[in-house]
Amino acid sequence: MNMDRFGGPEGFRFPDVSDFRPPPGSGRLILIAVGALASLVLLWSSFYQVEPEEVGLVLRFGRHVRTTEPGLSLKIPLAEGVVKVPVQRQLKQELGFRTILPGVRGQVTDPEEFKGESVMLTGDLNVAVVEWIVQYRVSDPYRFLFKVRGLEETFRSLNEAVMRGVVGDRTVTEVLTVGRQEIETTAQQKLQELCEQYETGITVAQVVLQDVNPPDAVKPSWDEVNQAQQQRDRMINEARAEYNKVIPRSSGEAQQTILSAEGYALDRVNRSQGDAARFKALQEAYRTAPEVTRQRIYLETMARVLPRVGGKVFLDRNAQGLLPLLPLNNLTGAIAGDPAVKGPGGSK
Amino acid sequence: MKNPKFVTIGGAALGLLAVLLGSVYVIDETQQVIITQFGEPVGQPVTTPGLHFKIPFVQNANYFDKRFLEWDGSPNQIPTKDKRFIWVDSYARWRIADPLLFFQRLRDERGAHSRLDDILDGETLNAIARNNLVEAVRTTNRDPANVPVETEEETSVLETIQLGRLALTRQILATTAPRVKEFGIELMDFQFKRINYVDQVQNDVFQRMIAERKRVAERFRSEGAGEAARISGERERDLQRIQSEAYRTAQETRGKADAQATRIYAEAHNRDAAFYAFTKSMEAYEASVDAKTILILTTSGELLKYLERPR
């Protein structure tokens, strides 16, 4: 009497009763034992457990009758079955690549392998290689289970069509450089619309672009553009640096020139004012006794000047013819240096 | 088995079970059923899920899917109106809307697929061949102002389209939907999944992309050189300006000061020009005379007149 083959709910094992020998003439006892076992099986199959991230959909003869929340619940044995859907879990699909080994440095497939998914035409009829992931949740488990056949594949096709539509409306430059964010949001929006239309029961959480590249054959020329861009920036920066090296310095120097001229001006004006003041004062004093003052100044000046003069020749008023005969050369020889003859105009 | 009564009862029970099992059938949420009697459909299709009854042995339950089903076209190589060869890979979603009609005309999904292949592939070919490539790639005409361009010389790189991807697929859907309706099929959506160049066209496109990139790169380099030259010129100009402005300001300042000084002197000296000449001369004598000077003085001068004879 091996009852293992009867099976039962998952994980349940009937007690091994193969060694059990019924006592002779105890038919009633066997009936009771069978009845007890049967009711145990029924009891066991009327319970089911729904995990925290799931909901359970109860089907009675294939018909959806109710949806249950996480926890332990009851169902009619034999007539009802349960399908569990992880509605809380964030699900993910990868397009244009597959992760082989998830981890900190996740290992991904050779990009060549999924070229079919990733290569697409851009709006200016160029080619871009786009890899992206889509994260989604099951928001309507009923639709998710019963409305679309091959949902996984359908969702993948939807993704491909939507992404190609979005990329097809943009230039290759936009796709590869500035347009990423916008492509993500637009794709998510359109994908969500189609998911509603297809009654998939899926809510798209996020579309995230991964590697977006030009085709391999074109890559070097893209790099060249980047390089040229940097070259341009460098040339401009260098010219700016040269400008900054020269201009502030020359500004300072200009300031110096101006300030020095201002110094000159101050000097000039102050001195002239000083000179003028001195002259005025002198003139004022002079006016009171012009004749004698002039004479005094003259004589005083001469008294100061004459001692410093190297050679002095006094001529009598009447010896006028004598001048041409003077041995000027000897005279100068007596004095060192160049001869310089100064004749004071004298005053009257 | 000595008791024939026991056998009879057992047989009857088995028969009853068979009849019972033959008279019920289960439809789940994804299915719909056509009941046939000796191969002939009877009554309306049964679409509500759950437990149902039929006449055992005589009637048969034929199951059909109620869900949206996939149709994935095989990639086709099609020339566009502007003579570009491309691969077009499309897909459609459909469902069995009228299982009775479907059952009568096509029997099963395999038949349906072959019809869908014929009709959809044909329409795709027509639509692509009648239009330029850009119509199948682009969806909308964007405002050129919103399309970022790398260099200002390109005003717009996106051609204007007449129909676009969405309109093309809608067109295909509109022409094919009535044709498959007579098979009990409802065509729900049609999309171009993939559009790619065939290999040799792809090479030309790559060459074009490379040439275009090179052009942009040259443009950047030339922009850099031009901008650098401009900045360098600016530097020259600013340098000259700063220096000459400083010179001008300095000269103006000096000139003003000179003028002012001249005015001050003139104003002072004008009080007594003769006295000024006298004092200035005195200063000049004092400044110009040194040890090398030879003075020849006559006694007729003011200084020595007393040397001759005191008067």
pTM: 0.69
Q: Alpha-carbon distance B34 to B65, whole Å?
A: 11
Q: Which two tokens stand for residue B69?
A: 């089903």
Task: Specify whether the CB–CB gap between B275 and A278 falls below 8 A.
Answer: no
- Residue A79 domain flag: yes
Exposed, middle or buried, B142 (CB in 10 Å: 0-12/13-18/19+)? middle
Across residues A73-82, what is the average pLDDT?
A: 87
Average pLDDT over residues A189-212: 92
Helices (H), chain B: 4-23, 99-105, 109-130, 133-137, 165-181, 199-269, 273-288, 305-308
User: Which tokens belong to B190?
Assistant: 């049609």
CA–CA gap between residue A251 and residue A255 (Å, rounded): 6
Residue with tokens 């319970």: A47
Residue A249, pLDDT > 50, answer yes
Give me the domain span that covers residue A26.
4-83
Q: Which residues of A touch B246 (CB under 8 A)?
A: 253-255, 257-258
CA dist., res. B81 & res. B61, Å (int)? 50
Residues of B in contact with A273 (CB under 8 A): 264
What does the pLDDT read at residue B142? Answer: 80
Which of A115, A121, A313 best probes binding to B when mutated, by most B CB atoms within 10 angstroms? A121
Q: Is residue A192 part of a domain?
A: yes
Helix (H, G, I), strand (E, B) or coil at B229: helix
The pLDDT value given to residue A263: 95
Q: Do A100 and A160 lie in a common domain?
A: yes
Residue A262 and residue A236 share a domain = yes
Contact B247 A240 (CB under 8 A): no
**CA distances from residue A313 to A130, A317, A332 in whole angstroms, order as listed:** 113, 12, 12
CA distance B283 to B293: 16
Instruction: For residues A202 and A241, state if they share a domain.
Output: no
- Look up residue B233 and give its two tokens: 């010129």
CB contact, 8 Å: B13 with chain A?
A: no
In the prediction, which pLDDT does A341 show? 41
pLDDT, position A138: 94
- What pLDDT band is residue A347 in, cutting at 50, 70 and 90? very low
User: Between chains, do B264 and A269 touch, taking CB under 8 Å as contact?
Assistant: yes
Is A103 found in the same domain as A15? no
Which residue in A135, A134, A129 sits closest to A96, CA to CA? A129
B299 alpha-carbon distance from chain centroid:
111
Inside any domain, residue A74: yes
Kindly indicate whether the domain formed by B69-143+159-197 is annotated with CATH number 3.30.479.30: yes
DSSP state of A185: H
Looking at CA atoms only, how far is residue A230 from chain B in angstroms? Answer: 9
Q: Provide the pLDDT for residue A11.
A: 46
B303 interaction partners in chain A (CB closer than 8 Å) = 298-299, 302, 346
Residues in chain A, overall count: 348
Q: What is the DSSP string of A272-340?
A: HHHHHHHHHHHHHHHHHSHHHHHHHHHHHHHHHHGGG-SEEEEE-TT-GGGGGGS-HHHHHHHSSS--E
* Contact present, B147 and B156 (Cβ < 8 Å): yes
Residue type, B265: Y
In the structure, what pLDDT confidence band is assigned to residue A340 with cuts at 50, 70 and 90? very low
Q: Does some domain include residue A121?
A: yes
- pLDDT of A227 > 80? The answer is yes
State whether the Cα torsion B11-B17-B18-B20 is positive or negative.
Answer: positive
Q: What is the pLDDT of residue A1?
A: 37
CATH number of the domain that residue A142 is part of: 3.30.479.30
> Vertex A205, ends A201 and A211: CA angle to 5°?
125
User: What element of type H or E holds A172?
Assistant: helix A172-176
Nearest chain A residue (CA) to B252: A261
What one-letter code names the amino acid at B48?
T
Q: How many helices (H) does chain A have, and how many strands (E)?
A: 9, 13
Q: Do B282 and A250 touch (CB under 8 A)?
A: no
pLDDT at A343 over 50: no
Residue A7 has pLDDT above 50, yes or no: no
CB contact under 8 A, B68 and A126: no
Chain B CB contacts of A174 below 8 Å? 147-148
Shortest distance between the Cα of B40 and any Cα of chain A, in A, equals 26
Q: Answer yes or no: is A343 within a domain.
A: no
pLDDT confidence of A179, banded at 50, 70, 90? Answer: confident
Which residues of chain B fall short of a pLDDT of 70? 1-3, 149-157, 308-311
pLDDT of residue A321: 60
Separation between Cα atoms, residue B124 and residue B126, nearest integer Å: 5
Degrees (nearest 5) of the Cα angle B245, B250, B255?
125
User: What mean pLDDT, rounded, does chain A reach?
Assistant: 83
Among the three residues A163, A186, A217, which one is the final residue of a domain in this structure? A217
The answer for B 50-89 residues in CB contact with A (under 8 A) is 50-51, 65, 67-70, 72
Whether residues A100 and A205 fall in one domain: yes
Please name the residues in contact with B74: beta carbons below 8 A apart, sequence gap of 6 or more.
B89, B117, B121
Instruction: Decide if A342 is inside a domain.
Output: no
Nearest chain B residue (CA) to A304: B286
Tracing tokens 């409305």 back to the chain, one arrives at A147
- Structure confidence by residue, pLDDT tens digits, A50-70: 999 999 999 988 889 889 999
User: Domain total for chain A?
Assistant: 4
Q: What is the dihedral of CA B207, B211, B216, B217, to 10 degrees?
A: 100
Any idea where the domains of chain B sit in the sequence? Answer: 20-65, 69-143+159-197
φ/ψ of B53, rounded to 5, equals: -120, 150
Residues 109-128 of B with CB under 8 A from A: none
Q: Is residue A265 located within the same domain as residue A328?
A: no
Tell me the C-alpha distance between B91 and A161, whole Å.
9
Q: What is the pLDDT of residue B301?
A: 72
| pLDDT over threshold 70, residue A159 | yes
Tokens of A220: 């070097």
B28 and A59 within 8 Å at the Cβ level: the answer is: yes
Residues A107 and A97 in one domain: yes
Tell me, yes or no, whether A339 lies in a domain: no
